[in-house]
Amino acid sequence: MANPFAVVFFVALFPQFIDPAAPVLPPLLRLGITYIVVDRVILLIWG
C-alpha cells in the first residue's frame, strides 16, 4: 500500500470487527474483499 492514510484507516477500523478469540484470517479476508469491492464500485461511479 503506497497510501499511508489507507494503512491508518485499516489499523483503526478492522480491529473493531475482529474477534480476538477466533481465527483472524477469515474475518480479515472478508473485510478486505468487502473494502476492495466497495472501493471499485465507488471508483467506477466516480470515473
The Cβ of residue 10 has, within 10 Å, a number of other Cβ atoms equal to 15
The one-letter code for the residue type at 1 is M
Q: Are 16 and 8 in contact (CB under 8 A)?
A: no
Question: What pTM did the predictor assign?
Answer: 0.65
pLDDT at 1: 52
The one-letter code for the residue type at 17 is F
pLDDT at 27: 84
pLDDT at 2: 65
* pLDDT digits 0-9 by tens, 5-24: 877 887 888 788 778 888 88
Half-sphere exposure for 30 (CA within 13 Å, toward CB): 7
The Cβ of residue 46 has, within 10 Å, a number of other Cβ atoms equal to 6
* pLDDT digits 0-9 by tens, 34-44: 888 988 998 89
Residue with cell 474483499: 33
